[in-house]
Structure 1
Amino acid sequence: MTAWWYADKDKKIGPIGIDELKRLIKSDKIDAKTMLWHEGMDAWRPLDQVEELNELKAVVSPSLPPKADTDTLSYPMANRWLRFFARIFDMCWETMLVACILGAVLSRYSANFVEWFYESGASRQLFGLLYLPIALILDALLYRAIGNTPGKALLGLKVKTLDGKSLSLAQYLNRNFSMWVSGLALGFPLFTLFTLVHQAGRLGEGQQASYDESAGFRVHSKPVDWWRKTAFGFAFVGLFVIIVALNTMEQTAHVKPY
């Protein structure tokens, strides 16, 4: 009786008889690509190339197909509403975080800042224009650290280059600052309205935003589960409530007595 040996990873196992070999094949411990050898063979061969075992090949179950590697480029371009809500969500929590930290630090070490900040509404608007680019830097750092931003991740959006690669930190910073100019008009409210409408119009016509098109970036949208959309909805509403509450507390704390 022929004694067989088979390879299991880096181990050589055997000798085993033909009945044991058949049992291992039926249990899928040996498949068509498992290397086999017996005395008299000039080299190890996979099962599907051993002619004397042709009758056993019929019991070999086919190997599982490789797991599909879904390419980001196969996903459609993100529509304007998904991009809008993802951007609003990310910008709101990022600017709120930066404003709170920056405001706390400046208030602690500069009494003049506190006086200037509450001097007029224009001072607070100017402060908002100043911390917006810092929030955009935070946005880029977050993208590089975890691969996406929370708003985009929850809605299934991904920013990629034309060949499907993730953006480098420099590329994402360049994208954010280009968007700051041509998408947010540096944060000036009235002008921002016009730039947002312009970019939304481009997206509605099937084009990319101007700051993505010029740099060769694309924002893709993949299908997401209902729970991710639900989570985004709760997070969006929760963030809005927090912002309103903070604004109310700030106004109440600095109401001038009559």
Structure 2
Amino acid sequence: MFCTKCGTKLSASDRFCNSCGATTLSDVTSEPLIDEPQSPLALTETTIAQVNEAVAQVRPWVRYWARMFDVMLFSLPVGLVIGLLFPDAFAKPESEQLLGILILFSWTFVESILLVAFGTTPGKWLFQTRFVLTSGTVFTFSEALSRSVKVWWRGLGIGFPLVSLITMIVAYNKLTNNQHTSWDKDAGIIIKHERIGVPRVIVAITFFVLYFALIVAGSVIDA
């Protein structure tokens, strides 16, 4: 016999269930209890609801600095290689701007590869920002690339100074008002933020200070 309340196996002489305390004969069955499986749809809806509840916060500045960390980190080795192979590449301001745009566009491919391979990027990892796909699947390269290109176009304005400022303001307003960006909505993504912590903040600040110090030093040397 088995208890109908908790499923514990009982002997014929038992007057009550030692696990849950059931005492009446109506609480006893001759068959073991088997949980009815939930449908995949019900599980998916439950998972999405739990994710939505857990990540209701919106942190546009954390997302911004995470992306700047990625782009700056990527630009260091790329800029070094270009500078060694083409010493005059940064001689003119317009050439420097063009290279900046190309580096930013190149990052969309590198970011896509990292998202598929690791599910994150150095900046997103450092700033405790991660993706949750509402479909419950993982990124494919085409999906990751599509999102990265939309960020490059809609959010960063391809890196062109004035256009970039306008698109970032628009993206900021949409994120704060709608709780999501257009590229995350298109990809079916929810962004989850966790506590960054003091050590990560120190690492980030140190990196940005050293990066800008390196830029200033390079400008002084060129002058």
TM-score when scaled to structure 2? 0.71
Structure 2: segments with no counterpart, 5+ residues: 1-6, 21-46
Distance across 2 between alignment mates of 1:206 and 1:177: 21
- AA paired with 2:55? P
- Mapped partners of 2:175, 2:153: distance in 1: 17
Percent of pairs with identical residues: 23
- CA separation of 1:74 and 1:168: change in aligned 2, threshold 3 A: farther
From 37, 55, 65, the equivalent of 1:76 is 55
Residue type at the aligned position of 1:114: P
Q: Does 1:51 align with 2:6?
A: no
Q: Which residue of 1 aligns with 2:43?
A: none
SS state at 2:187 partner? coil
Equivalent position SS for 1:51? coil
In structure 2, distance between residues paired with 1:86 and 1:59: 51
Higher mean displacement: 178-187 or 199-208: 199-208
Alpha-carbon distance in structure 2 between the residues aligned to 1:217 and 1:163: 9
Say which SS state the counterpart of residue 119 (structure 1) adopts. Answer: coil
Query: What is the aligned-residue RMSD (CA, Å)?
Result: 2.9
**1:191 maps to which residue?**
163
Report if the CA contact (8 A) 1:182-1:195 is conserved. Answer: yes
Give the alignment partner of residue 242 of structure 1, picking from 195, 210, 213: 210
1:57 Cα offset (Å)? 6.8
The aligned counterpart of 1:114 is: 87
Which amino acid is the alignment partner of residue 142 of structure 1?
A: L
Matched with 2:82 is 103
User: Which has more strand, going by share of residues?
Assistant: 1
* 1:134 maps to which of 106, 109, 126: 106
Q: Within the alignment, does 1:232 sit opposite 2:197 as a pair?
A: no
For residues 214 and 201 of structure 2, the distance between their equivalents in structure 1, rounded to whole angstroms, comes to 20
SS of aligned partner of 1:214: helix
Kindly state the Cα deviation for residue 56 of structure 1 after the two structures are TM-superposed. 11
Q: What is the one-letter code of the residue matched to 1:158?
A: R
User: 1:203 is matched with which residue: 165, 169, 175?
Assistant: 175
1:156 is aligned, of 128, 148, 156, to: 128
What is the distance in 1 between the residues matched to 2:108 and 2:197?
24
Equivalent of 1:91, from 71, 75, 78? 71
Instruction: Give the SS at the match of 1:49.
Output: coil
> What 5-or-longer segments of structure 1 have no aligned partner?
1-46, 61-68
Alpha-carbon distance between aligned partners in 1 of 2:102 and 2:207, rounded to the nearest angstrom: 22
**In 2 relative to 1, CA 120–155 (structure 1 residues): closer, same or farther, beyond 3 Å?**
closer
Deviation at 1:59, TM superposition (A): 7.8
**What SS is found at the alignment partner of 1:205?**
helix
Asked if the contact 1:175–1:211 (Cα under 8 Å) also holds between the matched residues in 2, the reply is yes
> Which one has the largest radius of gyration?
1
State TM-score, norm by structure 1: 0.63
Q: Higher relative contact order at CA 8 Å, sep ≥6: structure 1 or structure 2?
A: 2
- Mapped to 1, the partners of 2:97 and 2:176 lie a distance apart of 31
Q: Deviations over 1:236-257 (max 9, x none)?
A: 21111221232133224333xx
Residue aligned with 2:203, SS:
helix
CA–CA distance in structure 1, aligned partners of residues 192 and 19 of structure 2: 44
Structure 1 residues 135-177: Cα deviation after superposition (integer angstroms, max 9, x where no partner)? 2222222222222123323433222333243322221111011
- Structure 1 residues 98, 51: CA separation in 2 closer, same or farther (over 3 Å shift)? farther
Q: Report the AA paired with residue 250 of structure 1.
A: G
- TM-superposed deviation, 1:220: 2.7
Residue type of the partner of 2:217? M
